Amino acid sequence: MDGRVIARIDRVKNTGYSWEMIAELKTGKPWTKEENERFIDLKRKGKSHFEISKILNRDYGAVENHSCVLIRKGLLLPNFRRWSRKEDSTLIKLRNSGIPYSEIATTLNKTEDVIQAHVRYLMKKGIIKPPTQKEYSIRRINSIIKHKTEKGMKIMSRIVPNYWLGYLIGVLVGDGTYSKSGGYITLETIDFEFNTKFKKSVKEVFDSDTKDRTYIRKRIGVQFKNGKYEGKFYSSSFYNKYLLIEFDKEFGPFFCFEWFIPVEKYIKYGKEFIRGFVGGFFDSEGCIYFNKNPKSKEWRIIFSSYNDRGLSGVKSLLEYLGYSSIKIYTNSSNGEHSLYVTNKQEILNFISEIEISIPRKIKKFKEAEIFIKNKLNINYL
């Protein structure tokens, strides 16, 4: 903006009067809507303030002041340079192709505000047809999607592969519910401690809180206390569609039969991340089981899933952590796959290395630890 215009704006600010009041005091004649439109049109044609003052029969100072008023209102751009026919045709062509204003501004070496102002001017002249309500809605939605996607990518850039990220992914490929179209992740469980740890993992990864709800509902096939099919469910959900789209691209997919483990990528994230993943997956789909067969009374750590490809990835991660006594079996009746860890020392290592949250599973861990240490003649402290 011209230095003289800036100085004039500063002087008006110091007086405490608005530009409209000063212009009216000086000429005694307010500016009409028609005069404003004529003024803007003359400026677009490259006329000077002196020429405009003669055409509109106004004082030169009034014209200068009113120019500043229109600039402040956003109706007029400072240091306006007349558009060439070539620039007009390029603008129309790019706009009709659906190119966003930001890219058009880069192509024409102008600011985005200048592009938008000139589009409005061309619409007023009838050179460009104004958008229909449907076109405007689509453009508005696309603008919102772009903004939220950029925001999601910015949050994604701050996510660091650590224990909590591994735990969250382990839950999502297990009991967690993930909806890319709906834009949410949810965990529904009867275990309060499991729900609490899930909330903490979301907070640590996305730096945002979940929404909680606790309710009673019936679920067929699960019998709770007193013989009733009722239970207290703890449910936590996190909503952010555009962030989760980027999250799915980077770490997904998480759907039941689609999820798999990029083993090399997870190994690069480090052992802490892998331990977090194993802990989250064990809270969801794991158990520690005592074989009561008199011939072989042994404890076993078991992971279950209908996704054999995903379970093979879990096997590779456990082998990277040093577990070698791993076998995968398939139940021929229902097609469920189970991963077993059977070595006593490796079970003890698993109990000491992998953090879980569900109290009933922790209780089983302690029972197994005492049993195995007694059998191996290890002093239990």
Secondary structure of 79-136 in the HEC alphabet? CCCCCCHHHHHHHHHHHHCCCCHHHHHHHHCCCHHHHHHHHHHHHHCCCCCCCCHHHH
89-93, 191-195, 256-260, 284-288: segment of lowest average pLDDT: 256-260
Question: Which amino acid, 324?
Answer: S
pTM summary value: 0.62
What CATH number belongs to 282-375?
A: 3.10.28.10
SS3 at position 47: coil
> What CATH number labels 161-252?
3.10.28.10
Matching fold, domains 161-252 and 282-375: yes
- Map out the domains of the chain as residue ranges: 3-73, 85-124, 161-252, 282-375
For position 25, what pLDDT does the model report?
Answer: 45
In contact, 38 and 56? CB cutoff 8 Å: yes
Q: Which residue has the higher pLDDT, 145 or 298?
A: 298
Is 149 within 8 Å of 239 (Cβ atoms)? no
168 falls in which pLDDT band (50, 70, 90)?
Answer: very high
Residue 361 has pLDDT above 50, yes or no: yes
Residue 281: is its pLDDT beyond 90? yes
Choose among 4, 66, 6, 13: nearest CA to 35: 66
The two three-digit tokens of residue 191, written as one number: 């275990």
Contact 178, 172 (CB under 8 A): yes
pLDDT of residue 183: 75
Residue 225 has pLDDT above 80, yes or no: no
Specify the pLDDT at position 120.
84
Instruction: Compute the mean pLDDT over every residue in the chain, rounded to the nearest whole number.
Output: 79
For residue range 1-39, list pLDDT tens digits in order.
455 555 565 555 555 555 555 554 455 578 888 888 888
Q: Alpha helices of the chain — where are they, by DSSP H?
A: 3-15, 19-27, 33-44, 49-55, 60-73, 85-96, 101-108, 112-124, 133-158, 163-172, 192-206, 241-251, 263-269, 271-285, 308-320, 344-353, 359-375
Separation between Cα atoms, residue 67 and residue 44, nearest integer Å: 12
